[in-house]
């Protein structure tokens, strides 16, 4: 018999799996970075599908689990909006790279665009973390 508790536990497991997938998608780049530091030139396209599958798949799985658990979407404050905007800008940093690489057929190096991507994504994560800890402190003080 399926109970509400079993449904909730399954959704919580999916939420945790989503977080794990996101981290695996991010950590996919560790071997790429190590190889770049060692002087190799590994192909971006061996790592990108795993990164995107982990990050996008994990975030979708996490959103589905939140909905199944009946959690309301989190309220967004200004810090979260800035954080999400920076992450979005960091992702958009790849648009000129892909245009120049595939449309204009220009020889281009991934390392010319990676710093902009990382600054946007990590900057956004910093804003989200600050917002999270401020909200948490506010809840414990109340």
What does the block give as tokens for 8? 């909730």
> How far, in Å, CA of 21 to CA of 10, rounded?
16
Average pLDDT, the chain: 88
pLDDT tens string 8-54? 788 889 999 999 999 999 899 899 889 989 999 888 888 989 998 99
pLDDT tens string 57-91? 999 999 899 888 888 776 788 999 999 999 999 99
State pTM to two decimals: 0.71
Domain residue ranges in the chain? 1-73, 75-142
The H or E element that residue 133 is part of is: helix 114-141
> How far, in Å, CA of 106 to CA of 114, rounded?
17
């Amino acid at each position: 018999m399926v109970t509400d508790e079993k449904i909730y536990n399954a959704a919580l497991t999916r939420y945790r799996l989503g977080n794990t997938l996101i981290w695996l998608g991010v950590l996919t780049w560790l071997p790429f970075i190590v190889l770049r530091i060692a002087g190799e030139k590994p192909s971006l396209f061996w790592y990108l599908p795993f990164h995107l599958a982990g990050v996008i798949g994990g975030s979708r799985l996490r959103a589905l689990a939140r909905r199944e658990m009946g959690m309301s979407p989190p309220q967004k404050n200004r810090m979260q909006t800035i954080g999400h905007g920076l992450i979005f800008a960091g992702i958009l940093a790849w648009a000129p790279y892909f245009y120049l690489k595939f449309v204009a057929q220009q020889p281009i190096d991934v390392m010319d665009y990676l710093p902009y991507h990382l600054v946007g994504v990590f900057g956004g994560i910093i804003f989200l973390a600050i917002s999270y800890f401020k909200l948490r402190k506010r809840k414990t003080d109340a």
